[in-house]
Homo-oligomer: A and B are copies of this chain.
């Protein structure tokens, strides 16, 4: 036990009221959530964008976002926005980073919390035309409104890293998928080509894929076997350390 812990008196004790006054006297900062929603279609990684509703950014694309309500949790807000704007629910969502440059928003001080979302485009048919939503190839995203370009790039980089260390990618695929689809996904996200045999070996060695004893339908060539990811087994066995390497 430290000397300080034992002997120090309490200075600067504040009542709740004083803190409440401090909180109330700070300059107003609005909080928003912006969602970078990724999908995978036709072997391309896509991101869902919406036309900016702000005249200043006339016609430019932007992320889906909204102001946070005073009595909802951050994750709740992100789910709400996703649900309201796309009709989607039960999707993968993860907080990535908070962006708060003073002049990032033309309407005043708005700090935004960026979320990354992964959805399966086939499963979730969304009302794109109602909302001026559009799936963009991630390699063709430029000049977004606000600071959304930077937010997008941050989230994309985070995805590239996370997908190598965690089983996120399956959120972008159908529940049943072939190894070729899985490899296409990784290649699309990472922007690389991989050796097919080594890729398969790696995933089989992890031993988290359940062989469904089914094969692909309606493919114009030899159909591949279908698998699903064994989340339960993963949760029990996932590794702790990757080892020092930089």
* A166 and B73 form a contact (CB under 8 A): no
Interface residues of A in 186-217 (CB under 8 A from B): 186, 190, 192, 202, 206
* B71 and A109 form a contact (CB under 8 A): yes
- A36-44, A53-61, A117-125, A173-181: which one contacts chain B? A53-61
CB contact under 8 A between A107 and B164, given known A29-B31, A95-B97: no
Query: Min CB distance, A218 to chain B, in Å?
Result: 25
A181 to B165, CA, bound (A): 29
Query: Min CB distance, A184 to chain B, in Å?
Result: 14
Query: Min CB distance, A78 to chain B, in Å?
Result: 11
* A16 and B56 form a contact (CB under 8 A): yes
**A28 beta carbon closer than 8 Å to chain B:** yes
Interface centre among A29, A206, A234, A246 (most CB of B within 10 A): A246
CB contact under 8 A between A113 and B132, given known A23-B30, A71-B27, A108-B20: no
A180 to B17, CA, bound (A): 51
Q: Whose C-beta in chain B lies nearest to the C-beta of A14?
A: B53
Contact with B along A149-174 (1 / 0, CB 8 A): 00000000000010111110000000
Q: Which residues of A does B touch, CB under 8 Å?
A: 2, 4-5, 8, 10-16, 19-20, 22-24, 26-31, 51, 53-56, 58-59, 67-74, 95, 97-102, 106-111, 113, 128-129, 132, 134, 161, 163-167, 186, 190, 192, 202, 206, 234, 238-239, 241-246
